């Protein structure tokens, strides 16, 4: 059985208190690894090693050398792509095709931000002075210091490197706290960092849980200068409170209850294909996924019937098996949550178009965290499954009659992460996209990402923006230098 350790100051180690916890397979619920739990002393050691690296080789390294190292990290990740993919699949149960894409994006994040940091501009202003000689003001970027990186379990490598990549590119050091559900790829990245010569203390990994454990130790540590988090909204709020002590900056990408809006003039086949992906990709465990679908009334019955057919054609099973399009949920605990919403939908009067329960899996997988892809209709917008984030492979489909109506209904939740709009009317697309309260709006597509663009949420879906130069605003501090001439 695999034993996964913390990675502190360039070395793998167990926790100072000798504690460990089990990691179970989402596919079968069998124990596949033990994980060393970091104690408070381990978090302190990781932060201390990071501060030492800031003052030493990493902090004094020229930009060109730092960028070259990050490209070596990406190259080594590509060389070991099959190992990363196997680790990601073991932790999450996602189909191999999904895992391959996620892992490739993980390596790409280092290359993208290595390029961005080389080319980011600052500013310079000339000003007059009373003596007529003038002055120059120019800005320079400096790293914020030790960054605490608190990661989710749904796309572990991709979302972790989405933060680690720009943090390191800007000259910071990181202490990464992966989800207890998905510890393996963060640890494997430690091997890569060591292999390519990233200085000790620059990249640290501490495993454990949230309150009263590693997550709390990290987010309350006075030596952590900034905290970046992706995950559930209540956890993000707790991190924000912890960060208030010391007035430390936070970047929070949190929950969503994202709408998909399909107008009657939409390309039906494209809208079905896009909505199917946005509802069920990665078993619905995608922060940008669609759980509320609004369809203009003339197309409603046709759309629901087509989505039902497409959902029922999805194949659940072993990640490497040909044609498998959906895996299990991350854990038994999360399955209990999702199934509770499946039951609640029926209690509230939903029509179950398809799914709504547990699939009949082969004997080897009966213990896994499997649920059926599920589509409902018939509920009011006030129903729990139409307002609360479920984070499972499910959606509710409602008809609408006007543009103004659907905009109001789409915005009538506490979240504002993303939306997808399907229409052939270009003017309408621009109008609706501008009115939707969300950080990302797709038109006639979903999950189409240029990594240079700003990414983040509105309302209770987050604070701050990531991507391209927007990430650098969080991972650097701007210093103005005024030179009297």
468-485 residue pLDDT tens: 999 999 999 999 999 999
Give domain 2-254+461-484's CATH number out of 3.40.50.300, 3.40.605.10, 3.40.50.2300, 3.30.1360.120.
Answer: 3.40.605.10
Catalytic residue among 103, 151, 170, 287: 287
- Name the strand (E) or helix (H) holding 364: none
Sheet of 462-463: strands edge to edge?
Answer: 11-13, 6-8, 203-205, 173-177, 146-150, 226-230, 250-253, 462-463
Q: In the prediction, which pLDDT does 121 show?
A: 86
Q: At what angle do helices 96-119 and 63-79 cross, to 10 degrees?
A: 170
Catalytic residue among 37, 253, 389, 437: 253
Instruction: Evaluate if residue 287 carries a pLDDT over 90.
Output: yes
Three-class SS of residue 384?
Answer: helix
CA distance 10 to 193: 8
Q: Is there a contact between 154 and 330 (Cβ–Cβ < 8 Å)?
A: yes
CA distance 5 to 12: 6
315-370 residue pLDDT tens: 999 999 999 999 999 999 999 999 999 999 999 999 999 999 999 999 999 999 99
The domain 258-450 belongs to what CATH superfamily? Aldehyde Dehydrogenase; Chain A, domain 2 (3.40.309.10)
Q: In the prediction, which pLDDT does 172 show?
A: 98
Handedness of CA 452, 81, 180, 256 (dihedral sign): positive
CA distance 7 to 43: 11
CA distance 96 to 325: 9
Q: In the prediction, which pLDDT does 59 show?
A: 83
Is 386 noted as a catalytic residue in this protein? no
18-36 residue pLDDT tens: 999 999 999 999 999 999 9
The residue extents of the domains of the chain are 2-254+461-484, 258-450
Is 287 noted as a catalytic residue in this protein? yes
Handedness of CA 175, 181, 186, 191 (dihedral sign): positive
């Amino acid at each position: 059985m695999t034993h996964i350790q913390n990675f502190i100051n360039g070395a793998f180690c167990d926790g100072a208190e000798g504690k460990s916890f089990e990691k179970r397979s989402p596919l079968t619920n069998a124990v596949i690894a033990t994980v060393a739990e970091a104690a408070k002393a381990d978090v302190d050691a990781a932060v201390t090693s990071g501060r030492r690296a800031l003052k030493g080789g990493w902090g004094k390294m020229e930009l060109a050398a730092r960028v070259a190292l990050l490209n070596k990290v990406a190259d080594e990740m590509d060389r070991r792509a099959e190992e990363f993919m196997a680790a990601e699949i073991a932790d999450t149960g996602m189909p191999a095709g999904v895992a391959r894409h996620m892992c490739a994006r993980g390596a790409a994040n280092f290359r993208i931000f290595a390029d961005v940091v080389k080319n980011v501009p600052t500013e310079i202003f000339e000003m007059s002075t009373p003596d007529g000689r003038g002055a120059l003001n120019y800005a320079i970027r400096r790293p914020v210091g030790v960054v605490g990186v608190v990661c989710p379990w749904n796309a572990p490598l991709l979302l972790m490197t989405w933060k680690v990549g720009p943090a390191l590119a800007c000259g910071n050091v990181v202490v990464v706290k992966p989800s207890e559900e998905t510890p393996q790829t963060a640890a494997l990245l430690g091997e890569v960092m060591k292999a390519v010569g990233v200085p000790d203390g620059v990249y640290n990994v501490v495993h454990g849980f949230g309150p009263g454990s590693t997550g709390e130790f990290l987010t309350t540590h006075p030596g952590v200068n900034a905290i970046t988090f992706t995950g559930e909204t209540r956890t993000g709020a707790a991190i924000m409170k912890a960060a208030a002590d010391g007035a430390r900056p936070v970047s929070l990408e949190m929950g969503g209850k994202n709408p998909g809006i399909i107008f009657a003039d939409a390309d039906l086949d494209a809208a079905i294909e896009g909505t199917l992906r946005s509802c069920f990709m990665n078993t619905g465990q995608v922060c940008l996924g669609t759980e509320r679908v609004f369809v203009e009334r003339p197309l409603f019955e046709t759309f629901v019937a087509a989505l039902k057919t497409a959902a029922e054609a999805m194949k659940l099973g072993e990640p490497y098996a040909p044609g498998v399009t959906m895996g299990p949920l991350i854990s038994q605990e999360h399955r209990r949550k999702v199934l509770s919403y499946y039951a609640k939908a029926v209690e509230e009067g939903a029509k179950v178009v398809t799914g709504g329960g547990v699939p009949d899996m082969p004997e080897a997988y009966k213990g896994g965290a499997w649920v059926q892809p599920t589509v409902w209709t018939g509920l009011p917008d006030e129903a729990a499954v139409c307002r609360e984030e479920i984070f499972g492979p499910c959606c509710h489909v409602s008809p609408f009659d006007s543009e103004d109506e659907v905009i109001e209904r789409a915005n009538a939740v506490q979240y504002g992460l993303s939306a997808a709009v399907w229409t052939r009317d270009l003017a309408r697309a621009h109008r609706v996209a501008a009115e939707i309260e969300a950080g990302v709006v797709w038109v006639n597509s979903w999950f189409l990402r240029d990594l240079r663009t700003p990414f983040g949420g509105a309302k209770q879906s987050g604070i701050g923006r990531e991507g391209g130069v927007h990430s650098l605003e969080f991972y650097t501090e701007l210093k103005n230098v005024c030179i009297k001439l």
